[in-house]
Amino acid sequence: MSFEGAMAYGDYLKLDRILDAQAPLSSAHDEMLFIIQHQTSELWMKLALHELEAVRRAIRADDMPTALKMMARVSRIFEHLNNAWDILRTMTPSEYTRFRDDLGQSSGFQSWQYRSIEFISGNKAAALLKPHAHRPDVVADLKRRLAEPSLYDEAIRLLARSGLVIAPEALERDWTQPYRADDSVRAAWGEVYRNPEAMWGLYDLAEKLVDFEDYFRRWRFNHVTTVERVIGFKRGTGGTSGVAYLRKMLEVVLFPELWDVRTAL
């Protein structure tokens, strides 16, 4: 039962550092919930980024088993993130107002990991680098992700390598720009969905991508409803329009042709 000089559970997980990272600025009881909710979400987003990077590399290497396995894991991560909103929603508006002023200008809008997930998923906008200008290291990493092909760009390239006809402009473009739906990509996915047995790997990848976007949309929706429930239509702490901005994000579609194909079939 002695672990002196050995690698113990707390040593391996660096629990002292993790459990000392909660430092409420007020005496409000619910500030601890608010801090832990956001810290743990950032940890899960770190894992999601780790997996999404692995998926993109696997698709580039035509390693479909790895890509499919990791995509399934990403969806489960976002399912967990969705469930976490239920805990934060136990905090009432009265409880939140007791420490909201102590947050200063801090806001989830400034999460660079969330921004990285958006970029790698294809929702790119150079203007969104501005909230991170005070962190040159973060900006450099985000610029790298902005300039790289997204997860969906790599999936489209895979379609072309698999013998499906894809327009050149969908294969080589300015990667810093958000993806725009393409007729040739829509037709290619249509062929995949009409012949799933013959193109099972592509078909399975398509469904895994839709699964991920489905959970991501739910995460955004839960974010909107939680914020509206707690602060109504006040402006966000970081200066955004709050619920109005979050509702606008609900309109973002990451993989448009994969949703269009359902109507076309």
Q: What is the pLDDT of residue 241?
A: 55
pLDDT for 2 beyond 80: no
Q: Where are the domains of the chain?
A: 27-262
Q: What is the pLDDT of residue 236?
A: 58
- Output phi, psi for 114, to 5 deg: -60, -45
> What is the average pLDDT across 180-201?
97
Task: Indicate the Cα dihedral angle 140, 143, 144, 149, nearest 10°.
Answer: 170
pLDDT interval class at 233 (50, 70, 90): low
Which token pair is 212? 């991920």
Kindly report the CATH number that applies to the domain delimited by 27-262. Answer: 1.20.58.480
pLDDT tens sequence across 248-257: 777 889 999 9
Q: Over the chain, what is the mean pLDDT?
A: 92
Which residues are known binding-site members for heme?
A: 223
Environment class of 21 (CB within 10 Å of its CB; exposed 0-12, middle 13-18, buried 19+) = exposed
Which residues are known binding-site members?
A: 34-38, 96, 100, 223, 237
pLDDT for 10 beyond 90: yes
pLDDT tens sequence across 77-91: 999 999 999 999 999
Q: What is the pLDDT of residue 239?
A: 57
Q: How many CB atoms lie within 10 A of CB 121?
A: 22
Asked if 121 and 71 touch (Cβ cutoff 8 Å), the reply is no
Rounded CA separation 233/154 (Å): 39
Q: What is the pLDDT of residue 23?
A: 96
Q: SS3 helix, strand, coil % of the chain, rounded to 5? A: 70, 0, 30
Q: Which residues contact 195 (CB under 8 A, 6 or more apart)?
A: none
Rounded CA separation 207/71 (Å): 10
3-state secondary structure at position 1: coil
Asked if 37 and 84 touch (Cβ cutoff 8 Å), the reply is yes
Rounded CA separation 76/135 (Å): 31
Q: What is the pLDDT of residue 247?
A: 78
pTM comes to: 0.91
pLDDT tens sequence across 125-177: 999 899 899 999 999 999 999 999 999 999 999 999 999 999 999 999 999 99
Which residues are known binding-site members for substrate?
A: 34-38, 96, 100, 237
